[in-house]
């Protein structure tokens, strides 16, 4: 069984186009490298009902993991955890472990100052009942883990540096274990001198011969223009790394041989 993971990105700035959703892209790449299968990436605004509904829909799809980013900070529009509580029909509570993490962060950041735990700061220590606070090694707000039926929910901060640090320290190993040794292998090939419409039937033939290999073409030039530039992405997942590598290389060789016969110029990129 594949380890299916959904990503839920929260933030008006993402939907307005003011901020590029680098968190989702980075997380998807890391999850794939750990053997997980990213099945969906959803973006919602900073609205309680929209976040809650997206959470309920993801839980109904029974993903193994649901990772949210954004909306767990101290401001009024940080409402992801409240939305989780709403979706799971539970209440918010001041968590002693989360509070200790918040206090420890301020003590390390301002060692010679007494920091008052204001309402906004205490907000970062309030999590849904049944949740577990996860340390944030580079920021203030702890991440939170909760269970919802068969889905494990991880709520991460929206600050990329913090989301990455928490994923590396607390999530990557969990996903790798759940994936059961599944590995992901990929190769990129750069092609000049062939249009995508001419390339398509070649890809079909190679994928039919190697059913475990997925080939995606990424045009970087326009059809009809001399010397179009296309990148080909070959990928596969397997519990046998050696078998995956052999099949991947064979598919690359078959397609590049056909492209060479066509008269295209090929360069292996990575």
pLDDT in tens, 14-24: 999 999 999 99
Residues 51/83, Cβ–Cβ less than 8 Å: yes
Level-2 CATH architecture, domain 4-178: 3-Layer(aba) Sandwich (3.40)
Token look-up 């995956």 returns 244
Helix (H, G, I), strand (E, B) or coil at 132: strand
- Distance, in Å, from the CA atom of 74 to the CA atom of 256, rounded to the nearest integer, reads 54
pLDDT in tens, 146-166: 999 899 999 999 999 999 999
pLDDT in tens, 22-76: 999 999 999 999 999 999 999 999 999 999 999 999 999 999 999 999 999 999 9
Other residues' Cβ atoms within 10 Å of the Cβ of residue 170: 17
Token look-up 């049944």 returns 130
- Dmax (CA) of the chain: 73
**CATH code reported for the domain at 183-268:** 3.30.70.260
222's tokens? 């326009």
Q: Domains of the chain: which residue ranges? A: 4-178, 183-268
180's tokens? 């059961």
pLDDT in tens, 86-145: 999 999 999 999 999 999 999 998 888 888 999 999 999 999 999 999 999 999 999 999
């Amino acid at each position: 069984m594949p380890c299916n993971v959904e990503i839920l990105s929260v933030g008006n700035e993402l939907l307005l186009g003011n901020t590029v959703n680098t968190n989702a892209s980075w997380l998807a790449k890391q999850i794939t490298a750990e053997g997980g299968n990213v099945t969906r990436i959803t973006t919602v605004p900073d609205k309680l009902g929209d976040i809650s509904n997206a959470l309920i829909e993801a839980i109904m799809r029974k993903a193994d993991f649901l990772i949210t980013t954004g909306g767990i900070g101290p401001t009024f529009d940080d409402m992801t955890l409240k939305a989780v509580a709403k979706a799971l029909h539970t209440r918010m509570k001041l968590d002693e472990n989360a509070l200790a993490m918040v206090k420890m962060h301020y003590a390390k950041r301002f060692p010679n100052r007494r920091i008052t735990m204001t309402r906004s700061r205490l907000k970062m220590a309030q999590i849904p009942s049944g949740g577990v606070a996860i340390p944030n090694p580079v920021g203030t707000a702890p991440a939170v883990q909760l269970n919802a039926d068969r889905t494990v929910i991880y709520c991460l901060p929206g600050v990329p540096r913090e989301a990455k640090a928490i994923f590396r320290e607390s999530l990557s190993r969990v996903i790798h274990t759940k994936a059961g040794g599944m590995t992901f292998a990929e190769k990129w090939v750069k092609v000049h001198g062939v249009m995508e419409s001419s390339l398509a039937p070649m890809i079909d033939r190679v994928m039919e011969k190697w059913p475990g290999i997925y080939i995606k073409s990424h045009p970087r030039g326009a059809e009809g223009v001399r010397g179009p530039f296309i990148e080909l992405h070959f990928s596969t997942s397997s519990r046998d790394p050696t078998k995956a590598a052999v099949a991947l290389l064979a598919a690359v060789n078959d397609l590049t041989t056909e492209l060479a016969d066509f008269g295209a110029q090929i360069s292996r990129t990575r």
